[in-house]
Amino acid sequence: MILEKPLYDQNGKLLLKKGSVLTARNILAMHRTGVMSVRVTSSFEIEREDEIREEIQLNALKVIKEWNKSFDKKVFAALLKTIEDIIDEILSGKAVVGSLSEICLADTYTYTHSIDVTILAIAIGAKMGYNRKKLTCLGVGSILHDLGKTKIPVEILKKPGKLTPTEFSIMQKHPVYGYETIKQHDVNRISAEIVLNHHERYDGSGYPNGLHGNEINELAYICAIADVYSAMTADRVYRKALPPHEAYEMIIASSEINFTSVTINGFIKCIVPYPVGSIVYLSNGYIAQIYKQNPGLVFRPVVKILATNEEINLKMENDIVIKETVRQEDLRQLAIEGSATKVSLTNAY
């Protein structure tokens, strides 16, 4: 396996360069260091949209860690500059592809997750036609949305199993902790409300105040959607990541239950259920890789059959559909077999 992206430690220091061959020794070292996952190259050269520059994401990582240590004006100015850089990237057409959490350590999850949420939230806001001032408010609230988790005991944050009712009640206090912290500083009221309300839900089932419907600011709904999607698609100490298409479908199904239909429509415009590079099972029994997207047809991309390298445009082949993403645990066996066999769909589930 060859790294498609560079690997960094919790301070943004380069551990392995892009293109490094993963050996048994450095895989073991990554496990010991706490690396949750990395992205490796595929068997094909694939067309990817321009992604948000890693240096901007790494700079955001450093700034948010500094903000959690010292809430001074200089650090907040740097945080605002980072938000502006991300907005520039999104407005210039950079795609929301992958995540910083894929190239950082488990110990930095809270920080990298916040950056991933910020990028997706700003992208959703941009698709909804927000002006720059509104995008900045959204970005600040999103990057600080989990600030209160710094006051949650680490044994609860990193617990590998299900939280007890008592532990969950403690975890539910983090929006209030974050809100109380930033209210002491010169942070926009709307950004502060995002921090407080990002776990509130449309049907009133959220926390900390059980708000519902229009009682929740639209920007908080956007942050909440980005928060849920990022959490579902990232590896955690207590569970493996969901494939993007499953998270995508679960969020769409939550319209008018957890989130508003307007904000979900903005999300749909930003995320594709089968990202370029994904390995999938097709209804014709073959295993294929997503090669290129067809705009507006997220479930009908262009794929390449692994066994033959044949390119198929699902936009034109209506009798073939994607059944599901190949599970990560099955990819190793496919690599051993050379990905050259037609599989039985009965064995694909």
Burial 218-232 (b: 16+ CB within 10 A, else e): bbbbbbbbbbbbbbb
| Per-residue pLDDT reduced to its tens digit, 158-217 | 888 889 999 999 999 999 999 999 888 878 999 999 999 999 999 999 999 999 999 999
- Where are the chain's structural domains? 1-47, 50-268, 279-347
pLDDT given for residue 98 in this prediction = 53
Distances (CA, A) of 124 to 87, 99, 220, 275: 11, 16, 12, 17
Do 262 and 269 contact (CB within 8 A), yes or no? no
pLDDT reported for residue 97: 59
Model pLDDT, residue 11: 66
Among candidate residues 298, 147, 133, 161, the one with its CA nearest the CA of residue 227: 147
Q: Tell me how far apart the alpha carbons of residues 326 and 269 are, in angstroms, rounded to a whole number.
A: 24
* Chain centroid to CA 312: 28
pLDDT at 183: 87
User: What confidence score (pLDDT) does residue 41 get?
Assistant: 63
Could you tell me the fold of the domain covering 50-268?
Answer: Hypothetical protein af1432 (1.10.3210)
The low-confidence residues of the chain, meaning pLDDT below 70, are 10-12, 36-37, 41-51, 97-108, 237-238, 328-329, 331-349
Q: What angle do CA 55, 60, 61 make, to 5 degrees?
A: 95
Would you state the pLDDT for residue 337? 61
d(CA 210, CA 279): 40
Q: How far is CA 193 from CA 165, 170, 183, in A?
A: 26, 20, 10
Q: Contact at 8 Å (CB) between 32 and 58?
A: no
